[in-house]
Amino acid sequence: MTLFNDLIDGYRRFRETCWVDQRERWKQLSHAQSPKVMIIGCSDSRVDPAQIFDTSPGEIFAVRNVAALVPPFETAPGYHGVSAALEFAVTQLKVEEIVVMGHGECGGCQAALHSAFDGAVPGEGGFISHWVGLLDEARDGVIAKHGEGEDALHAMEHAAIRVSLANLRTFPFVVEREQAGTLTLRGAWFAIRTGVLHLLDNATGEFNAA
């Protein structure tokens, strides 16, 4: 098991190798960042976008949360972390692409599928229940078609990506740029068991191996 002291050992290896090898890159990044792609991914420890896409520092602007979800646009009082990151990426960094990346064996999608934390209070699953409640409508459709087994979980994972993409299109500043052709939205799903990335075909609505 990796603990914080192990992470410090890793930092020292990074400082002695990767940082030295890319010193000029880090020097450039100390002045500004200019990523072209935003990735909205899951917090799951097994699906680090930078590792999966083999990127260098500064190449992607990443936001990670349970089940890689994007809430719909709203202006009600509250702390809108995903919305703030989205706004910063689109209006300030002017990213050209947004990728919503889900994955296999997603615990958040599993919780949504089985209503695992329904009725729970904060600290015992209440926050999780409220968050994955964004998938309630999609869950009903998945269960009606696939039941609640492994096929249903994969369908739920795919549905979550579609929900997030649909919610992205409730943000006026996203829609404006997508319609202008300066911003492209994409869906992706990473299979942990096989290491294969699947991309959403917007024309067919299906996920195909990259």
Per the annotation, the verdict on 106 as an active-site residue is yes
- Catalytic residue among 12, 15, 46, 130, which? 46
- Catalytic residue among 42, 158, 177, 198, which? 42
Kind and range of the H or E element at 15? helix 4-16
- Catalytic residue among 54, 103, 158, 198, which? 103
Per the annotation, the verdict on 18 as an active-site residue is no
176: its two tokens? 């404006």
Cα–Cα distances (Å) from 67 to 34, 80, 119, 164, in that order, read 26, 16, 20, 10
- Catalytic residue among 106, 109, 154, 198, which? 106
Per the annotation, the verdict on 42 as an active-site residue is yes
Q: Closest Cα partner for 69 from 141, 173, 139?
A: 139
Q: Could you tell me where the DSSP H helices lie in 79-171?
A: 81-87, 107-114, 126-132, 136-146, 150-168
> Which residue numbers are catalytic?
42, 44, 46, 103, 106
